Chain A
Amino acid sequence: MDRRKKSKLISIIIVAIIILVMLLGTLITEDMLSTNFKDKNQFPSFEHPFGTDWLGRDMFLRTVKGLRNSLVIGSLASLISSIIAIIVGGLAGTMPKWVDNIVRIIIDLVMGIPHLILIILISIFVGRGTKGILIGVALTHWVSLARIVRSEVLQVRNEQYIKISRRFGKSNWYIFKNHMIPVVLPQYIIGLVLMFPHAILHEASVTFLGFGLSPETAAIGIILSESMKYLISGMWHLAFFPGLVLVILVLLINKLGENLSLILNPHFTRE
């Protein structure tokens, strides 16, 4: 099997795992997470792979539900963020010099305030909860992708084949559709996938600090911040497994990004 086929296979497997987690998370209803004091504070067993918490809720189900919420918020936020990135990067690449300068200052500004603190500020000022965290994550993560889009557009714009195409009398739209998109799109997709784990980690962090999702929703950040109270009593499984699953998920998505760039990036495809 050559590298390209292998990359495709790995990508398909990872996407399947992510879809599976999302489906499972959607299938878990509230009554499956209801309190059950008969089984409270249980350590991991065959029946409860991640143990149960102080209310007798199954930690495995809570974790999957939390992961699903993280995935939904993470994907929405990075999608919005990537659209901002493509607009900003595209404008900076095609518009006059002063637009580019303004974009650069905005980028420096967003980079200057630590992401986490900026997300906290935005989330407080638009009202906390899902909306706050979505807007916060979306408004902070576009920077690196915007830079990539900008440099791609700048590079492509001066290519010979675009000049030739223009001489042939092709319209701007034709050039955009047939010459720009094929070059920028792979970079965009890879950037989007690589933005995704960052968005999820920031969502979890901000929720952990108490600014994100409300305490009733299932979220990895909430589960972990609650588990802090039970650390001293030796309930290590409350924090260990949910965090571990989150790390595995993030690693998988990173792997997906790497493999996609092997498939889509024209510089690597024919190696």
Chain B
Amino acid sequence: MKIFNYIMNNFIKMIVLIILVCIVTFTLAVNSPIDPIRQYVGSGVTLSVEQRESIEEYWGLNDTKLERFQKWAYNIMHGDFGESLIYRKSVMSVIKDKAMSSLFLMICTFIVSGAVGYLLGLIMGKYRDSILDKILKTICVTFSATPTFWVGILMLMIFSVKLNLFPIGFSIPIGKTMEDVNFYEKVYHAILPIITLTLVFIPNIALHTRSKTIDVLQSDFVLFATARGEKSIMINHVIKNTVIPAITIQFGSFSEIFGGSVLAENVFSYPGLGSTIVDAGLGGDIPLLLGITIIIAIFVFIGNFIADMLCMAMNPMVREENIIG
């Protein structure tokens, strides 16, 4: 029963947070200096006062902010985020078009950086203070201080301009429409952004796993196991004790992977949610901006929820504590 309560608590917390995100983003948008009618009509067109008033009346801009929020919230519950101003179609369909490319990018980054980072962390921890450890650690520290977009630019310079291995921009080859692109070409275009993001996100988990591994290797039970002549200490003790914190850390960086993908998608002109949100921001497209932000927040909260559940399922200590607590 305690476990059930714990899950329910987490679930309710997630819902509350999603509602709060909606309220906060809406409040920010309503109070912004951007004039929605100007943005909708475009800057070249002049509006008479009567036309302006009729649009305001039609959109309900004269209602109080609370009434507008109620209407907006009601529509969102029904999956209607309004109409995007720069794409001239519904926000939901724009998001659907872009979400798959972004998710592909992020899931690949998530898995590759998690696996490689964890392994590097184990290696660094096991061979602590060796030359290998020192080199890897320096690389990790350097990459964690490097802006994502600069790594992307370096990748473009090396692999696209110098070596001519990958395309410079655009997700589809020139002269083809979106429908003609096959799976291979899509993956081909995603490789550089994935490498870039992976390089940026490896240090976090690798350095963390390194210090955890060192902690475990210095513990009394490992000393005892060594004294007993146990052979596979890494598998029996180190991995068992470091994999759960690693998963927590990796899921915790879920939100930052979204942020990173905004930068990577822009550098590589990759057509995902990240480049769309920048276009929406620069073009003053408030409905699209709000829509993408809320969708991303929902993804992040679901990610955190899954992480909590995974930790509970894998870690007997957390499980017990919940039963006691």
Contacts and interface: CB of A to CB of B under 8 A. Distances in A.
Given A113-B297, A114-B296, A227-B153, A234 B161 contact: yes
Interface in A97-148: 105, 108-109, 111-117, 120-122, 124-127
B28 A105 contact: no
Contacts of B33: 125, 127
Q: Which 4 A-B pairs have the closest CB atoms?
A: A116-B259, A114-B259, A243-B150, A125-B32
A55 interface: no
B214 to A, nearest CB: 17
Interface of A: 105, 108-109, 111-117, 120-122, 124-127, 197, 201, 204-205, 208-211, 224, 227-228, 231-232, 234, 236, 239-240, 243, 246-247, 250-251, 254
Contacts of B16: 105
Interface stretch (B74-82, B110-118, B129-137, B277-285): B277-285
A156 B263 CA distance: 41
Interface stretch (B90-98, B139-147, B236-244): B139-147
Interface in B255-296: 255-256, 258-260, 262-263, 266-267, 277-278, 281-282, 284, 289, 293, 296
The B contact surface, by secondary structure, is helix
Given A209-B266, A210-B282, A239 B157 contact: yes
Interface in B18-40: 20-21, 24-25, 28-29, 31-34
Interface string B163-185: 00000100000000000000000
A113 B153 contact: no
A171 B236 CA distance: 55
Interface residues of B, number: 48
25 contacts: A108-B13, A111-B255, A112-B17, A112-B300, A113-B293, A114-B255, A114-B259, A116-B259, A116-B262, A117-B258, A120-B281, A121-B281, A204-B147, A208-B147, A208-B149, A209-B262, A209-B278, A211-B278, A231-B157, A234-B161, A239-B150, A243-B154, A247-B146, A251-B142, A251-B145
